DNA sequence: ACGTACGGGACGACCCGTTGAT
DNA sequence: ATCAACGGGTCGTCCCGTACGT
């Protein structure tokens, strides 16, 4: 059992390290600017090693995105369980802020890369996830400005995360992002860790406090 | 005179059409995903024709971005002439909203493409322009959240522009964007629900108050 | 052991055959006139195969030149060990004659090709080797004609080697070249008419006296 | 008449300047390393101007070589008029030395460039000229070493010319080259402008004294 | 006598992916 | 589980030459 476990750890070790190397290079050079050769070189292996663990380039990209998309999935699921539309929106904003704060660099790369967007749109599961994520803010009203505002929230939060100074920790960053996101959406902002806002608001806790 | 004018139109015709084709393809396939061969094919010419009009790929990209960057330059110049910090920030937000509304699709591509960002950072004039654009919002206060908020504004507005429905005209879109931008920045939003601008405007509005 | 040896022979086979093909084509078409496609076609492989064995065209060229440059290095080292200036000059002349006779065709190509000269001048090791080769004849006297004479020797010997009739063997050619070289330099010519060397030699003679 | 003369001067002016520019670039970058575009740029004209004056690249190359080949032709003609074989050889050596000294840089480029050699070999007039040039030294004897020596002379003299220090004037250089050439061929050298050799030798003056 | 605008075809350098051996 | 070796294709760049205008 021990040797088998050790073996399977080793087995998946290279796979995990390949993903890590890919992440690092995606951040440095963007997705399109990173070749399989560069990833292999980063680990000191050959390209063939990559093709052993992944059938092709796209599957490697998907594997890189998986943890990030999983976080989105959880956030969407949690938000969808809220009862009021306002609570759903607030949960989504807080969740997306937390998610962006947690994946400071990779998040921006994945959120804005054209190739990533295209790949996601071709996988039904992911594209429907994106739609549900949007629907949590927009609702099903045909408010002409809602879609625009919702996009502004998502792109704004994702884009702002990379701009954070290096010495700002994840919690503070998440606080700021939640703040901006709520304000964009028309909610009043709660200042975390500072003097709490006395005004009552649609309280719908979960990830905060 | 007529023939001369006709000639000079013809002369720059291919060059202009090359830029148009590049714009269209950049929007469809992103910058990195567009090869010179694709652009040439779009016009039914060979790659050699491209190299006659542009010394290399980067210069073609720069020519594509020029009009967009020129709009940014004008907006920054206009905003910098305001006296109070709040007026400068508001002018910048309104200007960027107008700019994003005017260049609905190309703007998003240029604003988020990693390769574009890199090319711009290598040209001193453009990189300093980007810095000034940011400084108009941030000022020189060392507010830890200001930079984050400013990035959220720019990325949010640029990202939201593409999401607008096709039948929404430029003015309405600009109104919505200005709205979100102002709210993000903590200013009160005016003129919601697309109340039409009463003031006459030279271009399609934005830099005046 | 046998299979391992056979394998390691096979392993470097294509690489060696690429160099051979390059040598043959360099002789026929000069260095500048030989493209990677031509070399690949000669072996029935694709350009990609070349790029697997060499990182770029220049490294292939360097690999082609290496054995030739190694011979120059040995000759220079041997000549520098002589005590008197006259002995050093004579050793260099005899060595260069032997070297030119041994590399009848490739030597001429490499010695005169402008691109080769440029590449060598960019590698410190090679350029200093060329300088030392020259210094062995010129010494550090400021004789105005010495440099000219030395160049005449090197270019003359290298250029004359290709002119040898096909049925002339290496030893006879070397004898003639040594002869001319010595006479150019003002030394008395010995062993004309191809009197065979009585001394035993490791390779095909040249650096011994 | 005056305007016509002025016109035809202007006419051929560009042609001559094109040749000069080509010569300068051939010296700097070798023949193969010089494109028509580079030549056009050097003069500030377009490639079309080149194609007006020369039907193609090869004809331009031929025009560049013409003056140089003309000098060879004269030298060969003069040498062929001598009666004894020794006199012909000496005349050829002196002539080639003078020629190499006069065309210090271009001579080396043309004498060693593989492409030039190939082009010359395709034009009967030039290839026969080269043969006659060689025959003047070799004679028609089938001396196995003669051809080799003759090549050494020509390549040696041409190659040595470029090595001359910049402050050495043409006359001195010619003297040195004549010296080496004669010594290679087995003749005793005459020191020009220095103390003349007292020994008698096959005197066959012409271009010297 | 020369410029404008372009075609057609190379070139070196990468790319992703596959095959067989170990 | 990994490597050596290679195919097939595309990229940006540069080449020579040409048609047409003035």
The answer to whether residue B203 scores a pLDDT higher than 70 is: no
pLDDT mean across residues, chain A: 87
pLDDT of amino acid C6: 46
Contact between B160 and A148 using a beta-carbon 8 Å cutoff: yes
Q: How confident is the model at residue D109 (pLDDT cuts 50, 70, 90)?
A: very high
Residue of B nearest to A186 (CA): B183
pLDDT at residue A195 tops 50: no
Residues of C engaging D, defined by a Cβ cutoff of 8 Å? 29-30, 32-33, 109, 112-115, 144-145, 147-160, 162-165, 168, 172-173, 176-177, 179-180, 183-184, 186
Contact list, B130 vs chain A (CB under 8 Å)? none
Using one digit for the tens of pLDDT, what is the confidence trace for C47-77? 999 999 999 999 999 999 999 999 999 999 9
Would you call C141 helix, strand, or coil by DSSP?
A: coil
pLDDT at D173: 95
Closest residue, chain D, to C164 (C-alpha) = D148
Q: CB distance D115–C30 less than 8 Å?
A: yes
Whole-number Å distance between alpha carbons of A99 and A161: 10
Query: Given this model, what pLDDT does residue A11 score?
Result: 58
Q: Which nucleotide is nearest to D15 (CA to C1')?
A: E1
> Which nucleotide, over all strands, has the C1' atom closest to the CA of C41?
F7
pLDDT in tens, C150-199: 999 999 999 999 999 999 999 999 999 999 999 988 876 554 444 444 44
Residue C12 banded pLDDT, cuts 50, 70, 90? low
Q: How many CB atoms lie within 10 A of CB B49?
A: 16
Higher-confidence position of D197 and B145 = B145
Nearest-Cα residue of chain C relative to residue D186: C183
Under 8 Å CB-to-CB from C91, ≥6 apart: which residues?
C75, C78, C79, C82, C136, C207, C209
Nucleotides of F under 7 A from a protein CB: 1-20, 22
Q: Which of A144, A155, A171, A194 to mutate to test the interface with B (most CBs of B within 10 A)?
A: A155
Q: How far is the CA of A99 from the C1' of F2 (A)?
A: 36
Mean pLDDT on D107-135: 93
Residue B159: the pLDDT is 95
Q: How many interface pairs between C and D have CB atoms less than 8 angstroms apart?
A: 121
Do residue D114 and residue C33 have CB atoms under 8 angstroms apart?
yes
How far does A34 lie from chain B, in Å, by closest CA?
12
Q: Convert the pLDDT of each residue in B108-143 to its tens digit.
A: 999 999 999 999 999 999 999 999 999 999 987 778
- Predicted confidence at residue A107, as pLDDT, reads 95
Phi/psi at D139 (5° precision): 75, -165
Task: Express each pLDDT in A71-127 by its tens digit.
Answer: 999 999 999 999 999 999 999 999 999 999 999 999 999 999 999 999 999 999 999
Select from D26, D29, D35, D160 the residue whose CB has the most chain C CBs within 10 Å, as the one to mutate to test that interface.
Answer: D160
**Among the listed residues B17, B65, B61, B79, the one whose alpha carbon sits nearest the alpha carbon of residue B43:** B17
Q: What is the pLDDT of residues D60-107, one digit of tens each?
A: 999 999 999 999 999 999 999 999 999 999 999 999 999 999 999 999
pLDDT band for position A10 (50/70/90)? low
pLDDT reported for residue B60:
98
Report the percent of chain B where pLDDT is more than 70.
84
Indicate whether B195 pLDDT > 80: no
Q: Nearest to residue B107, comparing CAs of B164, B52, B145?
A: B164
Q: What's the confidence (pLDDT) of residue C197?
A: 43
Question: Between these two residues, A145 and D42, which has the higher pLDDT value?
Answer: D42
Q: What is the CA radius of gyration of chain D?
A: 19
Residues in chain A within 8 Å Cβ distance of B151:
156, 159-160, 162-163
Q: What is the mean pLDDT of chain C?
A: 86
The contacts of residue B44 (CB under 8 Å, 6+ apart) are none
How much is the pLDDT for C192?
Answer: 45
Residue C141's pLDDT is what? Answer: 72
Rounded mean pLDDT of B149-168?
A: 94
From the candidates A32, A161, A172, A180, which should be mutated to test the interface with B, based on the most B CB atoms within 10 A? A180
Q: Which residue is nearest to nucleotide F19 (CA to C1')?
A: D48
| Mean pLDDT within C16-41 | 97
- Answer yes or no: do A180 and B152 touch at CB < 8 A: yes
pLDDT at B207: 43
Whether B100 shows a pLDDT value over 70: the answer reads yes
Q: Which of D109, D114, D138 to mutate to test the interface with C (most CBs of C within 10 A)?
A: D114
Query: Could you give the CA distance from residue B117 to residue B158 in angstroms, rounded to a whole number?
Result: 14
Share of chain C above pLDDT 90, in %: 76
B93 interaction partners in chain A (CB closer than 8 Å): none
For residues B61-87, give the mean pLDDT. 95
Q: Give one DSSP letter per residue of A120-182, joined into a string.
A: HHHSHHHHHHHHHHHHHHH-SS--TTHHHHHHHHHHHHHHHHTTS-TTS-HHHHHHHHHHHHH
Query: Smallest Cβ distance to C160: which of D33, D151, D163?
Result: D151
Residue C116 in this model has a pLDDT that exceeds 50: yes
- Quote the longest CA-to-CA distance of chain C: 61
CA-wise closest residue to C176 among C191, C187, C186: C191
| B21/F14 CA-to-C1' distance in Å | 23
Helix (H) and strand (E) counts for chain C? 11, 0
Residue C201, sorted as left (phi over 0), alpha (psi -120 to 50) or beta, turns out to be: beta
CA distance C147 to chain D (A): 7
Question: Closest nucleotide to A13's CA, by C1' atom?
Answer: F1
> Does the pLDDT at position B3 exceed 90?
no
Contacting chains of B (3 CB pairs or more, <8 Å) are A
List of chain D residues whose C-beta atoms are within 8 Å of the C-beta of residue C114: 29-30, 32-33, 109, 112-113
Q: At what angle do helices C2-11 and C13-29 cross, to 10 degrees?
A: 30
The predicted-structure confidence for A56-67, as pLDDT tens digits, reads as follows 999 999 999 999
Q: Which residue among D113, D151, D180 places its CB closest to the CB of C159? A: D151
Residue B191 has pLDDT above 80, yes or no: no
**Report field, pTM of the whole predicted structure over 0.75:** yes
Tell whether the model's pLDDT for residue B5 goes beyond 90: no
In this prediction, residue D143 carries a pLDDT of: 81
> How high is the pLDDT of residue D195?
39
DSSP code string of A12-36:
HHHHHHHHHHHHHHHHHHTTTT--H
Interface of A with B (CB under 8 A): 29-30, 32-33, 109, 112-115, 144-145, 147-160, 162-165, 168, 172-173, 176-177, 179-180, 183-184, 186
Question: For chain C, how far is it from start to end, CA to CA, in angstroms?
Answer: 42
C136/C81 Cα distance (integer angstroms): 11
Specify the higher pLDDT residue, C151 or B8. Answer: C151
Say what the pLDDT of residue B117 is.
93
Backbone angles phi, psi at C31, to 5 degrees: -70, -50
Residue D206 pLDDT greater than 90, yes or no: no
Q: Do chains D and C touch (3 or more CB pairs under 8 A)?
A: yes
Could you tell me the distance in Å between the CA of residue C38 and the C1' of nucleotide F18? Answer: 28
Distance CA(C88)–CA(C76), nearest Å, equals 9
Task: Answer whether B147 sits within 8 Å of A165, measured CB to CB.
Answer: yes
Question: Is residue D27 over pLDDT 90?
Answer: yes
- The span from the CA of D7 to the CA of D13, in Å, is 9
Closest alpha carbon to C1' of E7, residue: B46
């Amino acid at each position: 059992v021990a040797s088998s476990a050790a073996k399977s750890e080793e087995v998946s070790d290279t796979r995990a390290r390949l993903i890590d190397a890919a992440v690092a290079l995606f951040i440095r050079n963007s997705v399109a600017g990173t070749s399989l050769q560069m990833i292999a070189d980063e680990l000191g292996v050959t390209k063939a090693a990559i093709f052993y663990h992944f059938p092709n380039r796209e599957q490697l990209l998907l594997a890189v995105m998986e943890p990030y998309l999983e976080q989105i999935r959880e956030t969407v699921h949690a938000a969808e369980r809220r009862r009021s539309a306002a609570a759903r929106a607030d949960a989504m904003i807080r969740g997306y802020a937390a998610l962006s704060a947690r994946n400071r660099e990779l998040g921006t790369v994945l959120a804005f890369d054209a190739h990533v967007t295209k790949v996601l749109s071709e996988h039904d599961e992911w594209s429907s996830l994106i739609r549900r994520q949007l629907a949590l803010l927009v609702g099903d009203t045909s408010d002409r400005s809602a879609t625009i505002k919702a996009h502004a929230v998502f792109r704004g939060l994702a884009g702002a995360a990379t701009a954070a100074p290096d010495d700002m920790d994840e919690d503070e960053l998440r606080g700021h992002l939640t703040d901006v996101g709520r304000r964009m959406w028309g909610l009043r902002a709660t200042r975390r860790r500072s003097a709490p806002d006395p005004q009552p608001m649609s309280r719908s806790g979960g990830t905060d406090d």
